[in-house]
Amino acid sequence: MKSIKSILLATLILGLIAVPISSYAKQSFALAGPPDWLFGGGDDTTYDWQDDDPETPWGIERVFNGAYYGDQYTTAVQVAILDSGIDLDHPDLMPNIAWAVDATGGGDPDDKNGHGTHVAGTIGAIRDNNGVVGMYANVQIYAIKVLGAGGRGDWDDLITGIYLAMEGPDGVVGTEDDADVISMSLGASGDPGEDVHNAIIDAYNSGITIVAAAGNEGDGDGTTDEYSWPAAYDEVIAVGATDKDDTIASFSNSGPFLDFAAPGVSIYSTYKNGGYDTLSGTSMACPHVSGLVALYLAMGGQRDPATVKDWLINNALDLGEPGWDPEFGYGLIQAP
């Protein structure tokens, strides 16, 4: 594994949408989820996709169209969450955390930020009639910490995290405990180069489906392109964010790399210190896709990234311009 020279820490602070390019360092990456106060609270509108299940947040209701079945399967599927760590003692997550490791060298995979814990809840919070339930309630979560407490990261650590996901707890590529899905709610506006891309390619070629947040630098104009890496790599499924009205969020990046849209505004999920919180961003959209991919695999789907993407395309709800478009990609993800 080659070393990346002159890695800079991001100065992007979680909570900003419109970030000056000078503060979004090209050789660094950071979280992709601004806080909910930028969008206000919820509303009292009734939607036909809502259900009466108190554990399903609106985003999961929308993906399942009010007929949630993410707790009906028990097949072992491993999702590696490359993020700020996970609250390892959270009651809604602890039973599903199969492995936790710190790729930053700090020796502590616990989440001091809250972002990774929020992502994990959307992917795989358990069914316990309390709090929330995730897209696949019986998933096996790999908590791979690549971001510090401030939500800032180093590309070398991300590379390490990708290879850890490929190997799984036994440290060997090609065995049953390898990750099946890599979920990355993070990114930067500049291409980090071949070292990161080669790691992505290696993971893809090993059969792992890789999902990443499309980024929050959108200008509300679908005719302009805003890139974020690693989402912009061809091997990665890039996810934009929608609201309850199936409208693309104004902050959501658009461009030729965009693959799908998923709920990402005012998403309620698990949070650090055993709590819950409501956040918005493409960071919150990404885990809806990662969790749906895990459920597809649990239902017997083929562990092949191209096949997985075709399945998502075939089941997506086409929004925006007919067919693929740079704001919604192939459409809003849907559980058939």
**Residue 238 in contact with residue 231, Cβ under 8 Å?**
yes
Task: Report residues of the chain scoring pLDDT below 70.
Answer: 1-43
Look at residue 153 and give its three-state secondary structure: strand
**Residue 131 in contact with residue 171, Cβ under 8 Å?**
no
Structure tokens belonging to residue 305: 């990234």
**Residue 12 forms part of a structural domain:** no
**Residue 161 in contact with residue 185, Cβ under 8 Å?**
no
**Residue 6 forms part of a structural domain:** no
Sequential DSSP letters for 49-112 = T--S-TTS-HHHHHHHTT---TTS-----EEEEEES-B-TT-TTTGGGEEEEEETTSSS--B-S
| pTM: predicted TM-score of the whole model, two decimal places | 0.90
**Residue 324 forms part of a structural domain:** no
Catalytic residue (choose from 87, 92, 102, 115):
115
Closest by Cα among 211, 293, 192 to 258: 211
Catalytic residue (choose from 28, 185, 189, 283):
283
Would residue 83 show up in a list of annotated catalytic residues for this protein?
A: yes
CA torsion, ordered 254, 256, 257, 259, to nearest 10 deg: 80
Per the structure, how many domains does the chain have?
1
**Residue 5 forms part of a structural domain:** no
| Structure confidence at residue 30 (pLDDT) | 66
| Structure confidence at residue 12 (pLDDT) | 28
Q: Which domain holds residue 179?
A: 58-315
**Residue 10 forms part of a structural domain:** no
* CB contact set of 281 (below 8 Å; sequence gap of 6+): 31, 32, 33, 34, 185, 213, 216, 241, 251, 264
Q: What is the CATH number of the domain that holds 66?
A: 3.40.50.200
CA–CA distance, 266 with 254 (Å, rounded to integer) = 20
Structure tokens belonging to residue 74: 């028990």
**Residue 332 forms part of a structural domain:** no
Q: Where are the alpha helices (DSSP H) in 212-275?
A: none
* CB contact set of 119 (below 8 Å; sequence gap of 6+): 81, 83, 183, 185, 269, 283, 284, 286, 287
**Residue 25 forms part of a structural domain:** no
**Residue 50 forms part of a structural domain:** no
CA–CA distance, 271 with 237 (Å, rounded to integer) = 25
